[in-house]
Amino acid sequence: MLNDHAAYMGTKAGTDHVVRCVAHEFGKEGIRANSISPGLTESPMTEQAMSVPGLHEAFVAGYPLGRIGTSDDIAAAAVWLASDECFMSGENLQVNGGLTLRRNPTNDDIAASVAKASGAA
């Protein structure tokens, strides 16, 4: 459960730079290119992990908006990015309830929260 996410984070950063290059290259043709970086999102993919006692609380505590995002939150951002009202290109839209204003919980934060929820702390 507690993994090093360096490869995942590096891939996301690389994708952001590709988006910037595409936006620059094709902007003259009226093509916009942007990306979305969702925070932890309630979904079938995260359901099992979020059922671990204390894990949900460990993440929610770091979100300034006080909740985990939903697929509707991400979809609304995607619809706006695809709309003609969006005058933005080459950018990464952080749809994460303000999480990047702070930091993701560390492995120690998560372990302590899980231990507390299981009565081990």
User: One of 8, 15, 53, 75 is an active-site residue; which one?
Assistant: 8
CA dist 68 and 98 (Å) reads 10
- Active site (annotated) includes residue 8: yes
CA dist 32 and 29 (Å) reads 9
Q: Of 99, 84, 87, whose CA–CA distance to 37 is shortest?
A: 99
User: CB within 8 A of 100, min separation 6: which ones?
Assistant: 39, 94
Q: Of 11, 105, 90, whose CA–CA distance to 52 is shortest?
A: 105
User: CB within 8 A of 101, min separation 6: which ones?
Assistant: 64
Known catalytic residues are 8
